[in-house]
Structures are given as C-alpha cells and as structure tokens.
Amino acid sequence: MNLKRVVVTGLGALTPIGNNVKDYWNGLLNGVSGAAQISRFDASKFKTQFACEVKNFNPTDFLDRKEVRKLDLFTIFALVSTQEAFADSKLNLDKIDEDRAGVIWGSGIGGITSFQQEIIGFCQGDGTPRISPFFIPKMIADISAGYISIKYGFRGPNFATVSACASATNALVESYNYIRLGKADVMISGGSEASVIEAGIGGFNSMRALSERNDSPETASRPFDKDRDGFVLGEGGASLILEELEHAQNRGANIYAELVGGGLSADAYHITAPHPDGHGATKVMKNALEDANMQPEEIDYINVHGTSTPLGDISESKAVKNVFGEHAYKLNISSTKSMTGHLLGAAGAVESIASILAIRDQIVPPTINHFADDDQLDNKLNFTFNTAQKREVNAALSNTFGFGGHNFSVIFKKFN
C-alpha cells in the first residue's frame, strides 16, 4: 500500500540537564552531568545516594496549583514537555481535525510516587482506609496520554505503551504507524518517568543495577568505560509532534527530520539481563533498517541504549558490529545517558530528540566519563568519548531496550 511519510515538527524536553530543548541540547554538547546527591529525600541509608533529578523546576510555573495536586510527577513532566513541543510546532487547534489527531505516551512505571505516598500514609495511620480519590488516576500509566488528549482536544488514537525502558520508543513507533497508515494526521508522542524516590532507588539497588559511586556522582554514569558499575537513575519527560508530511507542508511547518523506520524485537532470554551475544539488539536494528528501506551504510550516528551496566554495554556493542560490519568503524556512537542518567520509560523520547538535533546541527553529542578502555569491547569503535564531534549526519538510529527483553529502534533522517 502507499504509506504516508511522517515528519517531526515539534520538540519538548524536561531533563536533568535542561528544562527545555535548548538547554538540554546545550548540556549534551557541553558534556554536562546531571548527577548529584538526591535532594528529594534522605538517601543516606541507601547503597546509592545520588541520581539525575530535574532541577529548578516548579510545576506551578506551568500548571494551575489545583491541577498539580491531582497529578503524579510523571504526568506533570508529560504535560510540561508537551506544552513546549506543541508551542514549538505552531499547530493551530482551530485548523486541526481533532478526530485525526491522537496521543500515544510511554512510561515504564507510571505513578510510582503517588503509589508510595498512599501506601505509606495508610501504614502510618490507624488502619482506616483513607485513600485519596485521585490515587488511581494519579497512578495508572495511561493517564498522561489521557490528560494530554483532554488538554488539546485530540480524539484520535489514545493509549499508553508500557515496555520498561523501551516505552517511549514504543510510543513513537506506534504513532509513526498510525500516521503512515493514514489513520491520523498528527500525533503527540513521547514518554515520562518520575522514579527518583525511595522505592525506585531501593528497588534498583536490590537488583544491583545502580552505580554506587557515591563519592563522585557526576562521573558515575560511564558507558563503555572499564570501571562502569551500573546505571544512574534519571527522571523527566520529552515530547515529539509527529505529522503526516503533506499536513505539515500545507501549513508551512518547520520540519526537524523525517521518521523513516521503526524496529521491534524480543530477547526471549532473561527478565533483566540482555542476551550476551546481542541477538535481540541485532534483530531490532536490522528490522528498523528493513522498515526504513535503508542499508546499514546509510546510518551515520547511533544513539545507543548504553546504560553503563557491565553486561549491557558489551552486548549492544556486539550487536552494532553484527549489523553494521565494517561500516561500524565509520559510525559515531554515543550514549547520552552518560549525562542525563537513565530516564527509564522516557529515555527513548529524550534520546530521539538528541538524534534529531544531531541531524539538524551536524554534530554528535559525546559519551562523557570515559577514563579507561575496556578490553572486552572493540575500542576501535568510535564511542565519541568525552567531546562532541562535528560530522555529516544524514541519518541517525536510536536504540532502547527494556527489562523483559523488549527492544525498539527508531531511525530519523534529514528531510529532503
């Protein structure tokens, strides 16, 4: 069938290194670390006492105070990042067919902050169930998509994707499919996460997934470094406005890039560990290339999942070599999680924006905190260590992999 072309016309970001797209991008290019001692609660008794928190952020600067009380932080992040993306797109609500405009939003965990607060409140009480009437709407992972659709009046496809750390990329791929199949003209898509709380830090600590470099938080997220010891938990959200090409051109929209392909696969191996030979990661990148009708040699930059875990970084680098062969040595590879930390279900949206802006500005953001080569990796690969690199970037691929073995890749291309 004749598939529609899909372009990106609006961007919004709320991250640990910048509360808007401009500041986020500048933070990436300048190698800024968002990691610091946790400010939201006393983490002194935890094995990990630091995270990448969103900083200098007051929700009431963007939303009504009464509305904020009804929302979990992950939904606040979703609404605020979408507010920026929508304004950036310059869409006119009076000229949109609301029945052909939708929202697909990703979150791996949803309202875990609200869940923790209600349970603590119940346990500290006298046993009488005094549960907030907003508890369930604040907690459920689909509520961000619902709130966004209500705010903008979008009556088209509307749901949440939950695939752990791949959730936001999952949402982007689904949105891309609805538009290219002719079922929607405009989609708001992205992801948000707010898990820097006791349950989040404690849960990941018990899995031995987090870095415990408490004496140097800013250098703790070190993908592909010999001494990496786990990921750094992050939070925030990012939103992308996707449009059918003719719809965007007819209104004279600014087009950042074209979304040309999406891939899906499963490791079918382990609930948390990646396949040691990168089978699932290999398959998902091949699927994305096939979907985009592109050859491996056409990719210039890969924004890798690159979490800074001992096993994950090795597995993904093997997969890159499996897919790209000799061209792997001509690619730029970087993990922006070295700066933002791991935003879990929001990671794919935040990192897609980095990929898109790499195409716009012809520069690849770095993988910071590289101090020593790991002999288990092929160090001839260009991991863009420590400093951003100018180069021609016509196409970029972004990877996200989630607990449960969920793998998603998405490809953006310079619009011509």
Give me the pLDDT at residue 115, please.
97
CB 317 within 8 A of CB 381: yes
Give me the pLDDT at residue 126, please.
84
CB 223 within 8 A of CB 333: no
- What is the distance between the alpha carbons of residues 349 and 332, in angstroms, rounded to a whole number? 20
- For residue 305, indicate whether it is catalytic: yes
Q: Which amino acid is at 207?
A: M
Give me the pLDDT at residue 70, please.
96
Diameter of the chain by CA atoms?
A: 66
Identified catalytic residue from 247, 275, 279, 305 = 305
- What is the distance between the alpha carbons of residues 22 and 182, in angstroms, rounded to a whole number? 32
Give me the pLDDT at residue 340, please.
98
Please identify every stretch of the chain with a pLDDT value under 70, giving residue numbers as ranges. none
Nearest alpha carbon to residue 280 among 241, 322, 234, 218: 322
- For residue 270, indicate whether it is catalytic: no
Tokens read off for 178: 């609805």
- What is the distance between the alpha carbons of residues 281 and 265, in angstroms, rounded to a whole number? 8
Please write down the HEC assignment for all residues of the chain.
Answer: CCCCCEEEEEEEEEECCECCHHHHHHHHHCCCCCCEECCCCCCCCCCCCEEECCCCCCHHHCCCHHHHHCCCHHHHHHHHHHHHHHHHHCCCHHHCCHHHEEEEEECCCCCHHHHHHHHHHHHHCCCCCCCCCCHHHHHCCCHHHHHHHHHHCCCCCEEEECECECHHHHHHHHHHHHHHCCCCCEEEEEEEECCCCHHHHHHHHHCCCECCCCCCHHHCCCCCCCCCCCECEECEEEEEEEEEHHHHHHCCCCCCEEEEEEEEEECCCCCCCCCCCCHHHHHHHHHHHHHHCCCHHHCCEEECCCCCCHHHHHHHHHHHHHHHHHHHHHCEEECCHHHHCECHHHHHHHHHHHHHHHHHHCEECCECCCCCCCCCCCCCCCCCECCCEECCCCEEEEEEEECCCEEEEEEEECCC
pLDDT for 104-143, tens place per residue? 999 999 999 999 999 999 999 888 888 999 999 999 999 9
pLDDT for 290-336, tens place per residue? 999 999 999 999 999 999 999 999 999 999 999 999 999 999 999 99
- For residue 370, indicate whether it is catalytic: no
Whole-angstrom distance between the N-terminal and C-terminal Cα of the chain? 22
Neighbour-count burial for 199-219, b at 16+ CB within 10 Å, e otherwise = ebbbbbbeeebbbebeeebbb
Identified catalytic residue from 247, 275, 279, 342 = 342
| pTM of the predicted protein model | 0.97
CB 307 within 8 A of CB 313: yes
CB 48 within 8 A of CB 212: yes
Identified catalytic residue from 165, 247, 275, 406 = 165
- What is the distance between the alpha carbons of residues 241 and 248, in angstroms, rounded to a whole number? 11
Give me the pLDDT at residue 145, please.
98
- The residue assigned the tokens 């992950």 is 74
Give me the pLDDT at residue 127, please.
82
Residues paired with residue 342 on neighbouring β-strands, in sequence order: 233
